[in-house]
């Protein structure tokens, strides 16, 4: 009988199921994976070193480009670390706006995840459904910051500007006649908050729709139940955070356990899995979308009733209003100093973590008192998750590798940094 050896296959870096530029060296025994060796770094841009070479405020935009499907949460971690070092107090309204956009981002991220995860393991329709809702969420981003994805909206000491009073509307064109435009603008007649309110009314039904497609679906269950099982002990050992850790049954969520901003004033629940397989993580993320919707709704209600400043009133770290800059000498000097040299951050170190849609996103900031960070370390949740790839796929079939990549919710912008 001929002797059969293990053989090695190369998966990626250009593969539709690799979620970017993952290169996997898989050692196979027949169709069973014996060893997986992920090669990362193909998208390495040295964000941390770049940040060390420019004033603090100029790196906020880089944070969007880390995990490019949950932009504002990345910014949040970064500005929180600087605020911690500066000792800056953020106005309450800005905190609510941040929390609201964090949760909008969470839905945005989870929709992207369910779309691509579904696409990878044979549920094509999910992708189209998820992108339908993402469009509205990205309109919210655009209304508030002018950009659909890379918003650069959060600032040290608050947010860049208050929520707009008018929602941008569609205009008549050669593709859309009067009736079309009227229908498309139906929920855009009021302010941004009205638009978000309308979204929170609609969204739970959308989640129900996704669940009818997947939760009881036989194919979906066969592809996810019992795949990539991680015990709670191993999940902690491997540095798992976020839905990956909760899927394994560990009740740990920074929003509840170490609340930041106004999460301690809001009412929401933390879903936890039981078996720690791909299916449980799917259920956790689906429930997280519902809970995020609840949080958004509470924020909308609060923001409607409570106008106020959205930026700290300290012109050493926040730009003075345009009028003050044009009319007064002091405002002009503040503006000039802030946009040329930036601000000095006191010597010391801080670690600020937020509950990012993918897990714990942390920023470790070491300052030596200069106007630029001395060392910035980005703790990306995906990096720890991907490092467990070998353990999670060992003994599974080749097709399950794709399911595990999907369930880890891998995005290379944050892993390679």
Partner 1 sequence: MSVRYQKLADLIVDRLGALVQRHVVARGELTIEVAAADLIEAMTRLRDLPEFGFDQLVDLCGVDYASYRNGGWEGARFAAVYHLLSVANNRRLRVRAFATDDDYPVLPTVTAIWSSANWYEREAFDLFGLLFDGHPDLRRILTDYGFVGHPFRKDFPLEGHVEMRYDPEQRRVIYQPVTIEPRVNQPRVIRDDHRYAGQGE
* Rounded Cα–Cα distance for residues 226 and 407 (Å): 12
- C-beta of 134: minimal distance to partner 1 in Å? 30
Residue 220 falls in which region: left (phi positive, over 0), alpha (psi -120 to 50) or beta: alpha
The 3-state DSSP class for residue 20 equals coil
Residues that bind partner 1 in the complex, under the rule CB under 8 A: 40-41, 44, 46, 48-50, 53-55, 84-85, 87, 234, 236-239, 241, 250, 252, 257-258, 340-342, 344, 346-351, 353, 360, 362, 364, 366, 368-372, 374-375, 377, 379, 383-384, 386-388, 391, 416-417
Contact by Cβ (8 Å): 261, 95: yes
- Per the listing, tokens 């503040």 go with 334
Contact 210, 129 (CB under 8 A): yes
The span from the CA of 274 to the CA of 249, in Å, is 5
Q: How far apart are CA 61 and CA 66, in angstroms?
A: 10
* DSSP structure class, residue 367: E
Minimum CB distance to partner 1 smaller for 54 or for 65? 54
DSSP code at position 59:
G
3-state DSSP assignment of residue 9:
strand
Which is nearer to partner 1, 31 or 233 (by Cβ)? 233
Token couple for 65: 């480009």
CB of 48 to partner 1, least distance (A): 7
Residue among 19 and 417 whose Cβ is closer to partner 1: 417
Query: Which is closer to partner 1, CB of 200 or CB of 367?
Result: 367
What distance in Å separates the CA atoms of residue 130 and residue 113, rounded to the nearest whole number? Answer: 9
DSSP three-state, residue 397? strand
Spatial separation of the C-alpha atoms in residues 145 and 122, rounded to whole Å: 36
Closest approach of Cβ 248 to partner 1, in Å? 12
Largest Cα span, the chain: 91
In the complex, minimum distance from the CB of residue 150 to partner 1, in angstroms, rounded to a whole number: 21
**Which residue, 84 or 134, has its beta carbon nearer to partner 1?**
84
Shortest spacing between CB 415 and partner 1, in angstroms: 9
To the nearest whole angstrom, how small is the minimum distance from the Cβ of residue 40 to partner 1? 6
N residues, the chain: 417
Nearer CB in complex with partner 1: 116/367: 367
C-beta closer to partner 1: residue 163 or 250: 250
Q: Which is nearer to partner 1, 214 or 354 (CB)?
A: 354
Span between the terminal Cα atoms of the chain, in Å: 49
Closer to partner 1 by CB, 235 or 303: give it: 235
Closest distance to partner 1 from the beta carbon of 175 (Å): 41
> What is the C-alpha separation between 105 and 196, in angstroms, rounded?
13
Q: In angstroms, give the least distance from the CB of 50 to partner 1.
A: 7
Closest by CA position to 43, among listed 25, 64, 27, 66: 66
Q: Rounded CA gap, 315 and 309, in Å?
A: 14
Rounded to whole angstroms, the Cα distance separating 250 from 228 reads: 16
For partner 1, the closer of residues 149 and 350 by Cβ is 350
Tokens linked to 261: 């901003």
In the complex, least distance from residue 79 CB atom to partner 1, rounded to whole angstroms = 15
- Considering beta carbons, is residue 83 or 409 the nearer one to partner 1? 83
Q: How far is the CB of 125 from partner 1 (least distance, A)?
A: 36
Strands, sheet with 32-39, edge to edge from the N-terminal-most edge strand: 7-11, 23-29, 32-39
CB of residue 136 to partner 1, shortest distance in Å: 34
């Amino acid at each position: 009988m001929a002797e059969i050896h293990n053989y090695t296959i190369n998966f990626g870096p250009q593969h539709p199921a690799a979620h970017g530029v993952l290169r996997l060296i898989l050692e196979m025994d027949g169709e069973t994976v014996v060893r997986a060796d992920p090669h990362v770094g193909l998208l390495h841009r040295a964000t941390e070193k770049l940040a060390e070479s420019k004033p603090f405020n100029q790196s906020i935009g880089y944070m969007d480009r880390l995990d490019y499907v949950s932009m504002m949460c990345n910014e949040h971690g970064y500005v929180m670390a600087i605020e911690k070092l500066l000792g800056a107090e953020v106005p309450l309204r800005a905190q609510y706006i941040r929390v609201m956009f964090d949760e909008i981002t969470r839905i945005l991220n989870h929709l992207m995840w369910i779309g691509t995860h579904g696409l990878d393991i044979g549920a094509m329709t999910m992708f189209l459904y998820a992108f339908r809702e993402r469009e509205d969420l990205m309109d919210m981003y655009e209304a508030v910051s002018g950009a659909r994805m890379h918003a650069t909206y959060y600032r040290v000491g608050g947010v860049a500007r208050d929520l707009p009073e008018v929602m941008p509307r569609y205009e008549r064109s050669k593709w859309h006649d009067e009736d079309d435009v009227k229908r498309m603008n139906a929920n855009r007649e009021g302010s941004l908050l009205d638009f978000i309110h309308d979204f929170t009314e609609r969204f739970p039904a959308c989640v129900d729709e996704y669940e009818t497609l997947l939760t009881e679906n036989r194919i979906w269950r066969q592809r996810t139940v019992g795949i990539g099982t991680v015990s709670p002990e191993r999940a902690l050992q491997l540095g798992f955070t976020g839905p990956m850790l909760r899927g394994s049954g560990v009740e740990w969520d920074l929003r509840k356990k170490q609340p930041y901003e106004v999460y301690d004033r809001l009412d929401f629940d933390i879903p936890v899995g039981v078996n720690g397989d791909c299916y449980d993580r799917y259920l956790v993320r689906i429930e997280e979308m519902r809970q995020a919707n609840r949080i958004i709704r509470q924020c909308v209600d609060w923001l409607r009733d409570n106008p106020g400043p959205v930026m700290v009133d300290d012109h050493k770290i926040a730009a003075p209003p345009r009028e003050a800059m044009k009319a007064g000498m002091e405002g002009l000097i503040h503006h000039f100093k802030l946009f040329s040299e930036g601000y000095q951050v006191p010597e010391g170190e801080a670690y600020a973590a937020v509950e990012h849609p993918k897990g714990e996103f942390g920023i470790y900031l070491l300052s030596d008192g200069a106007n630029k960070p001395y060392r910035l370390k980005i703790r990306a949740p995906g990096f720890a998750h991907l490092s467990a790839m070998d353990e999670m796929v060992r003994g599974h079939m080749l097709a399950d590798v794709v399911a595990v990549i999907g369930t880890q919710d891998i995005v290379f912008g944050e892993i390679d940094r």
